[in-house]
């Protein structure tokens, strides 16, 4: 349903190689937003605002979203206007690792982490204090196109050193998250691999 609603953005992303959330992951994300009746969402990694707009159209939540790339940010601003959502989606053109969290809201119901994979632990630790107790961190791309499994099986040999290092970092993040006892985390093997972490 969502990619039909946003066919224009979906096609733009495919044609221009902009990575956006996969349909299955998006369906799960929206299911959770509805289930917890999320009113305030923080997203790390806007790209062209495909997921932000999908979240907004499928809920009545307010969304703050952070994007460091100016070209992506400009496209996101245009897309949010096109869908008449500037009053519900606020885009920050900043590096999430540098942003002063005081300019953001507090007590978010859900945080969607979807930016540079190598920095996931830093994002998690920086932004999870802004989440209310019982709120959810939704993390995407944790199987990284099946490469994390290959890495675990010691079978990731046909890739560059840099890519292998990135896959190792994602694997390390998964292990860390599983054992991080301020959250209860469930890993779900849909889309590109997601984690749903509930703040205790």
Which residues bind to ligand SAM, rule: CB under 6 A? 19-21, 45, 47, 50-51, 66-69, 72, 95-97, 114-116, 119
In the complex, minimum distance from the CB of residue 132 to ligand SAM, in angstroms, rounded to a whole number = 22
In the complex, minimum distance from the CB of residue 29 to ligand SAM, in angstroms, rounded to a whole number = 9
Nearer to ligand SAM, 139 or 174 (CB): 139
Question: In sequence order, which ranges of 36-69 are alpha helices (DSSP H)?
Answer: 50-57
Question: In sequence order, which ranges of 36-160 are alpha helices (DSSP H)?
Answer: 50-57, 70-82, 120-127, 147-152
In the complex, minimum distance from the CB of residue 19 to ligand SAM, in angstroms, rounded to a whole number = 4
Nearer to ligand SAM, 10 or 154 (CB): 10
In the complex, minimum distance from the CB of residue 34 to ligand SAM, in angstroms, rounded to a whole number = 18
Are 97 and 119 in contact by the 8 Å Cβ rule? The answer is: yes
Nearer to ligand SAM, 19 or 86 (CB): 19
Are 99 and 68 in contact by the 8 Å Cβ rule? The answer is: no
Are 194 and 25 in contact by the 8 Å Cβ rule? The answer is: yes
Nearer to ligand SAM, 79 or 171 (CB): 79
In the complex, minimum distance from the CB of residue 80 to ligand SAM, in angstroms, rounded to a whole number = 12
| Residue number of the CB atom closest to ligand SAM | 45
Rounded to 5, what percent of the chain is helix, strand, coil?
A: 45, 20, 35
| Cβ-count burial 77-89 (b if 16+ within 10 Å, e if not) | bebbeebebeebb
Nearer to ligand SAM, 123 or 151 (CB): 123
The helix (run of H) or strand (run of E) holding residue 67 is: none
């Amino acid at each position: 349903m969502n990619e039909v609603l946003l066919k224009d953005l979906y096609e733009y992303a495919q044609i221009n190689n902009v990575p956006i959330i996969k349909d299955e992951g998006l369906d799960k994300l929206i299911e959770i937003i509805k289930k917890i009746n999320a009113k305030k969402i923080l997203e790390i990694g806007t790209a062209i605002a495909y997921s932000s707009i999908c979240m907004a159209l499928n809920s009545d939540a307010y969304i703050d979203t952070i994007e460091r790339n100016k070209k992506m940010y400009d496209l996101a601003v245009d897309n949010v206007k096109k869908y008449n959502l500037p009053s519900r989606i606020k885009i920050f053109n900043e590096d999430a690792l540098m942003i002063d969290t005081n300019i953001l809201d507090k007590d978010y119901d859900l945080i969607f982490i979807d930016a540079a994979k190598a920095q996931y632990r830093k994002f998690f630790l920086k932004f999870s204090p802004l989440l209310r107790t019982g709120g959810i961190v939704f993390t995407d791309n944790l199987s990284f196109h099946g490469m994390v499994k290959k890495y675990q099986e010691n079978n990731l040999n046909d890739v560059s050193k840099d890519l292998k290092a990135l896959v190792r970092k994602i694997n390390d993040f998964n292990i860390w998250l599983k054992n991080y006892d301020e959250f209860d985390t469930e890993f779900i093997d849909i889309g590109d691999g997601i984690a749903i972490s509930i703040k205790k």
